[in-house]
Amino acid sequence: MVDKNLQDSSPPQWPEAAQTLMALMQARGEVARLSEREQLLSSLLVSVNAVLWAFNWETREVLYVSPAYERIFGRPTDPLLADYNQWRDSVYPDDLEEAERSLASVLDKGSVEDREYRIVTADGQVRWLSDKCFINRQGEPGQPLIIVGIAEDITEKSTSKPNCNAWPLPTN
């Protein structure tokens, strides 16, 4: 005779197929949530009027550049992602040395808040940028040194200052 007080209190065992189906339904829901977040992030990145970027210091490789790069620099992103020199070539020649020095100073300081330099867009316009950058501290020890930043077009603010309304391109 079985004592009714000693009944099995463990949850009922579902057949393996039912467990697999439940796991797939949960995964599908998670994929849908991630897709929604990705779409939201993508629309935010498109609407921001500043260039967000990530740079591998050791390999001199641009890892990411936001869509605003095309609007502000007037250049496509793919060549920049393939060759860091695309950025160097767009910096106003008189500002290149300081722009590179200030980028390197982030290694000592951890962040740089006061980088301002000019760029020459693909159609020859000269634009002022305020470019803030910092070291990505989320990486594990031994991981590549990644510098991330945000570059904002401040041309309108800069041209309202005295003696900043025109910048002749240097002649060689």
The answer on pLDDT for 99 being more than 70 is yes
CA separation for the pair 163, 128 (Å, rounded): 14
pLDDT top residue among 139 and 50:
50
pLDDT for 117-130, tens place per residue?
Answer: 999 999 999 999 99
**How much is the average pLDDT of 82-90?**
95
CATH topology of domain 49-159: Beta-Lactamase (3.30.450)
**How much is the average pLDDT of 138-157?**
85
Is residue 141 a contact partner of residue 155, using CB atoms and an 8 Å limit?
no
pLDDT top residue among 156 and 166:
156
CA distances from residue 120 to 64, 86, 147 in whole angstroms, order as listed: 21, 11, 23
pLDDT for 4-59, tens place per residue?
Answer: 555 555 556 667 777 777 777 788 878 777 777 766 666 665 556 799 999 998 89
Write down the mean pLDDT value for the chain: 81
* Per-residue pLDDT at 63: 95
The answer on pLDDT for 170 being more than 80 is no
pTM equals: 0.67
Q: What residues does each domain of the chain span?
A: 49-159
CA 99 to chain centre: 19
Is residue 62 a contact partner of residue 149, using CB atoms and an 8 Å limit?
no
CA separation for the pair 155, 137 (Å, rounded): 31
Tokens 């159609």 belong to residue: 123
Residue 84 phi, psi dihedral angles, 5° rounding: -55, -30
CA separation for the pair 57, 54 (Å, rounded): 9
Q: Is the dihedral of CA 42, 65, 139, 101 positive or negative?
A: negative
Q: Is the dihedral of CA 44, 32, 137, 61 positive or negative?
A: negative
**How much is the average pLDDT of 68-81?**
95
pLDDT for 100-116, tens place per residue?
Answer: 998 888 888 888 888 89
| Residue burial 114-125, b: 16+ Cβ < 10 Å; e: rest | ebebbbbeeeee
| Sequence-ordered alpha helix ranges (H) in the chain | 16-47, 68-73, 77-82, 85-90, 96-104, 106-109, 155-159
